[in-house]
Structure 1
Amino acid sequence: MKNIILGSCAVAAMSLSFFFEQVPTDKNAKLTAIETASVLPLNLPTAPTITPAINFRDTLYYNYYAQTLGVKLNYSEDKQLLATVADWLGTPYRSGAASKKGTDCSGFVTKVYQEVYGIKLTHSSRSMFQSVERIKKSAIKAGDLVFFRRGPGKPIYHVGIYLNNNKFIHSASNGGVMVSSLNQAYYARNYYAAGRVNM
């Protein structure tokens, strides 16, 4: 048995040496018969080094926030955005306020934008809408704002921060800071537009 294993290793080594034999660096040097007869190109291009898009720590980080927020993530979202909004989860609703003791929708958005991006937004969903770049619903990215109104011609009354997979985080009058879906009947019916804050 030992001889069979050793014999197999020897055959494998000989086969590999056939394919990986070095080519002379001198262009005028003659190639050996084995090199000339090789079925593989002598100067194989080196394969590009593929680096993983995210490392193990990032994977853990995104998995944690995907679970915490209940959102399927792309693993490319702003980490500070995810951490900040998650920290606000469960904050009660309070009209006109903007703190962890209580906040309304625009107060929540202004605080998150200040902390994550260093941008001061006005404490009003209508004013925010006037200062954003309108974008198509199909082009929304994490961090963009989503606006709602109760029918055509009605004023904007609510704003939230888009996360991913049709989910957004906002301060709702019936539950405080929470994650909801744009597909929910109420939000699908009242969705008006999405906007991107120029940074």
Structure 2
Amino acid sequence: MDHGPRVEERGAGGEPPPLLRDDVPAGDASPVLPLLRAQAEQWRGVPYRLGGNDRRGVDCSAFVQITFQSQLGVNVPRTTDELAREGQRVGRDELQAGDLVFFKTGFRQRHVGIYMGGDRFLHASTSRGVMTSSLNNVYWRRHYWKARRLDLDELPTAVSLSDESR
């Protein structure tokens, strides 16, 4: 569970600064990125609910599980603790779209999101629901713990990475 900032970074006119907006290319040519952007658009604003796993409310680890299953056809564990043991550890300076980013937000509290490139990650925030945030935000930078990369090289053929209908 996170207790992230209540106010997301904003520029003039209330818009996120250009380098933080989701529609600005992150320089990451990953085929996973369009799928993550589609998920962000479909779920944006869905409220946070501890233990929730649908559009009425979702917690951070359920959102990761739903995203990996629905967008990538990959089954991942349900809890943040289990997710934190999956895949390979990756340095913050080596992050790629689709990597899981983890935060220690309290004594025994952990939070997870999905890296999208450009120092942005997609997550279910306790304060604002499903949204993207910057890893460079003071709160997230201070609570950053680690990142893990899951093996996405062999996505099921049922998942089309170029499907424009998403």
TM-score between the two structures when normalised by the length of structure 1: 0.61
Distance 1:172 1:124 in 2: 15
Match of 1:76? 29
Corresponding residue of 2:132: 179
Q: Name the structure 1 match of 2:98.
A: 143
Amino acid at match of 2:129: G
1:88 aligns with 2:43: yes
- Correspondence 1:98 to 2:53: yes
Give the aligned residue type for 2:94.
Answer: A
For 1:104 and 1:171, locate their aligned partners in 2 and report how far apart those are by CA, in whole Å: 6
Shift of the 155–116 alpha-carbon distance from structure 1 to 2, 3 Å rule, reads: same
SS at match of 1:174: coil
Whether the aligned pair in 1 keeps the contact of 2:28 and 2:96 (CA below 8 Å) is no
Structure scoring higher RCO (CA < 8 A, sep ≥ 6) equals 2
| Range 164-173 or range 73-82, more displaced | 73-82
CA–CA distance in structure 2, aligned partners of residues 105 and 93 of structure 1 = 8
Residue 122 of structure 2 is aligned to residue 169 of structure 1: yes
Instruction: Tell which structure's C-alpha radius of gyration is larger.
Output: 1
Residues 117, 89 of structure 1: alpha-carbon distance in 2 compared, 3 angstrom cutoff:
same
Cα-Cα RMSD: 2.1
Q: Deviation above 6 Å: which 4+ runs of structure 1?
A: none
CA displacement, residues 26-53 of structure 1 (integer Å, 9 cap, x when unaligned): xxxxxxxxxxxxxxxxxxxxxxxxxxxx
Which residue does 1:49 correspond to in 2?
none
> Is residue 131 of structure 1 aligned with residue 79 of structure 2?
no
Unaligned runs of 5+ in 1: 1-65
Does residue 147 of structure 2 align to residue 194 of structure 1? yes
- Give the helix-richer structure, 1 or 2: 1
* Separation in 1, partners of 2:118, 2:39: 19
**Partner secondary structure for residue 69 of structure 1:** coil
Per the TM alignment, residue 74 of structure 1 is displaced from its structure 2 partner at its CA by 2.3
Q: Which residue of 1 aligns with 2:5?
A: none
Partner of 1:115: 70
CA contact (8 A) 2:40 2:131 kept: no
Whether the 8 Å contact between 2:36 and 2:116 is mirrored in structure 1 is no
Return the letter of the residue paired with 1:76: A
Sequence identity percentage: 34
Unmatched 5+ residue regions in structure 2? 1-18, 153-166
Residues 71 and 187 from structure 1, CA distance in 2 versus in 1: closer, same or farther, beyond 3 angstroms? farther
